[in-house]
Amino acid sequence: MTTKRRLVTATGGMAAVTVASRFSGLVRDNVIARLLGAGMVSDAFVTAFRIPNMFRAFLAEGTLHAAFIPTLAKLKRDGDPAKAREFVRAMTGALLIALPVIVAIGVLAAPLLVTMVAAAFARDPAQFALAVKLTRIMFPYLGLVSLAALAQGVLNASDRFLLPAAAPIAVNLCIVAGTVTGVVAFGGRPEWMGVGVLAGGLVQFGLQWLACRDVGLALVPGWQAFSHPEVRRVLRLMLPGVPALGVYQVTLLLSNQLAASLGNGAVFCVYNASRLNELVYGVLIVQLTTAVLPMLAAERVADEGKARATLAFAIRLLSSVAIPSAVFSVLLAVPITGVLFGGGKYTIAAVHTTAGALVMYSLGLPFLGLSRLLANTSYAWQDTRSPLIAAVSSLAVFGALGLVLARALGVAGIAAAASCGQVANTATLLWLDGRHRRLPRLRDVLPATGRHLIAAAGLGAVAFGLNRMFPVPLHTSVRSLAQLGAYALAAGGAYLGLLVALGAPEWREAREFLRRRRAA
């Protein structure tokens, strides 16, 4: 099997694993919602859990991967296994020196960290104390997940993709176990949720550690650590990626701060709405943009005109998925939220609050997908400056509108500000990529977008009409899931039928694209 054929196979397998991972995340959030509801405890947990995850973006899955994987891959290509093992050992040693210090600082500074993410919690001393306690329990997760990220880098550089992609499932299941233990077995002890997070991080790292040993690159600390030249090179390469990640993390921080100021339950409702919006984004849009990027980068070198044609196809394909998904989510936001979170202690009021935020997030979904695609276009042209400028513009718009819209619309206002930020991000990238002549002609994109809008209107009419005649129950059950699924299938059928009636060529193009990838 050729390298490109292995890439196609791995991409398909990762898509399936991504679906499983997202499903386990939904199960996790549903269990927390049903057992705790939208209130003080769930807000405190989400806030405390976000803190180590914010640092993870800097230390682990973001800049570390971008710098570590190419370095290890080069050493492996050079055909010197001893040097590759030495580098992995040195990198492991460096992390084992740095991480305990960072974790200790985080545990000691937990009150400051909670204030940075949710200052409004200070109004309720009990909630603030709980958030601090959970932060201290869960902050060591940062160390475990950072080591897991190193293991994932080793496995990815060794063409092992499925286990790293599936590893987050362990974290989700352990959090479910911790939540059930704390609420059911101990009558309401949220500390067990933190224990579940730690257990999940340990399992996530342990499974990948064993796999690294199997590929001959065990994560055993070496003596050189920070003195190793390749480790120093990785650290230097990590620095340019920090500003862009910092912009995104500041956006999350501001979002949590605004939600915390709206009262108990707001943080959890905003979190759940964003998770629902990320379902389509994570499972479909990310896969589409990731699959197109390597072809775009390769074609740019040989023929920029061909690369622009590929980008036009990618935009049309993205539009065919993002627009109908957004319409469906906007019109059926309440039943979607009710089916996936409703019941138990997650009240009808919480369902409607979350649905209001989901509507606003969904309006920004096409722009979220297009901004990612355009950022990848910049990267394919080896331009890292444009995505950073666009990210800063998104943060500026979100910061300017967030407080105003949160006061006017509550939880939905935070989501609306986030969507406006995505519009600004997309507009900035369109301007910058347009200046550098990377964009396709409008006539290669706009007619298809118009067809998708018309067909999506038909989809919306079917979905809205069905739910109006036979409302979906607003709680999690087999019946409600089946009913919502049936409406999605019927609406999707109407959408596809209208596209065929309008003579849309996207499906023929998609088949041709897949044929080209298989033949590559």
Give me 172's structure tokens: 């989700």
Left (φ > 0), alpha (ψ -120 to 50) or beta: where does 188 sit? left
Least confident of 266-280, 324-338, 503-517: 503-517
User: Is the CB of residue 282 less than 8 Å from the CB of residue 18?
Assistant: yes
Residue 51: the pLDDT is 94
Which amino acid, 454? I
In three-state secondary structure terms, 343 is strand
User: Is the CB of residue 211 less than 8 Å from the CB of residue 355?
Assistant: no
- Per domain, the residue ranges of the chain are 3-436
Taking residues 121-146, report their average pLDDT: 95
Taking residues 430-458, report their average pLDDT: 88
Taking residues 476-486, report their average pLDDT: 94
pLDDT at 318 over 70: yes
Distance CA(459)–CA(355), nearest Å, equals 19
pLDDT at 507 over 80: no
User: Is the CB of residue 323 less than 8 Å from the CB of residue 449?
Assistant: yes
pLDDT at 350 over 80: yes
56 vs 462, higher pLDDT: 462
Q: What is the pLDDT of residues 23-41, one digit of tens each?
A: 899 999 999 999 999 999 9
Residue 288: the pLDDT is 64
pLDDT band at 414 (very low <50, low <70, confident <90, very high): very high
Distance CA(308)–CA(350), nearest Å, equals 45
User: Is the CB of residue 159 less than 8 Å from the CB of residue 5?
Assistant: no
185 vs 349, higher pLDDT: 349
pLDDT at 342 over 70: yes
Least confident of 61-65, 321-325, 490-494: 61-65
pLDDT at 517 over 60: no
Q: What is the pLDDT of residues 170-187, one digit of tens each?
A: 999 999 999 999 998 887
Q: What is the pTM assigned to this prediction?
A: 0.85
Among 20-24, 70-74, 447-451, the range with the most confident prediction by mean pLDDT is: 447-451
Distance CA(274)–CA(294), nearest Å, equals 28
User: Is the CB of residue 424 less than 8 Å from the CB of residue 393?
Assistant: yes
User: Is the CB of residue 282 less than 8 Å from the CB of residue 427?
Assistant: no
pLDDT band at 168 (very low <50, low <70, confident <90, very high): confident
Distance CA(98)–CA(238), nearest Å, equals 15
Residue 311: the pLDDT is 81
Residue 1: the pLDDT is 43
Site of tokens 């995104």: 248
Residue 6: the pLDDT is 42
How many other C-beta atoms are found inside a 10 Å radius of the C-beta of residue 138?
Answer: 27
Buried b (16+ CB within 10 A) or exposed e, 445-469: beebbebbeebbebbbebbbebbee
Taking residues 214-218, report their average pLDDT: 88
Sign of torsion, CA 23 50 260 415? negative
Residue 3: the pLDDT is 32
Give me 429's structure tokens: 């990238």
Phi, psi (5° rounding) for residue 343? 110, 165
Q: What does the mean pLDDT of the chain come to?
A: 86
Q: How far is CA 507 from the centre of its chain?
A: 27
In three-state secondary structure terms, 286 is helix
pLDDT band at 435 (very low <50, low <70, confident <90, very high): confident
Taking residues 136-149, report their average pLDDT: 94
- The alpha helices in 473-505, defined as continuous H runs, are 478-501
Among 17-21, 44-48, 74-78, 309-313, the range with the most confident prediction by mean pLDDT is: 44-48
pLDDT band at 9 (very low <50, low <70, confident <90, very high): very low
Q: Give me the count of residues in the chain.
A: 520
Residue 346, beta-bridge partner list: 343
Q: What is the dihedral of CA 284, 288, 291, 296, to 10 degrees?
A: -170
In three-state secondary structure terms, 357 is helix
pLDDT at 326 over 50: yes
pLDDT at 411 over 50: yes
Q: What is the CA radius of gyration of the chain?
A: 23
64 vs 303, higher pLDDT: 64
Distance CA(343)–CA(159), nearest Å, equals 43
User: Is the CB of residue 407 less than 8 Å from the CB of residue 355?
Assistant: no
Least confident of 37-46, 144-153, 238-247, 321-330: 238-247
Residue 4: the pLDDT is 35
Residue 242: the pLDDT is 66
Residue 2: the pLDDT is 39
Q: Count the helices and strands in the chain (H runs, E runs).
A: 23, 0
pLDDT band at 5 (very low <50, low <70, confident <90, very high): very low
User: Is the CB of residue 89 less than 8 Å from the CB of residue 230?
Assistant: no
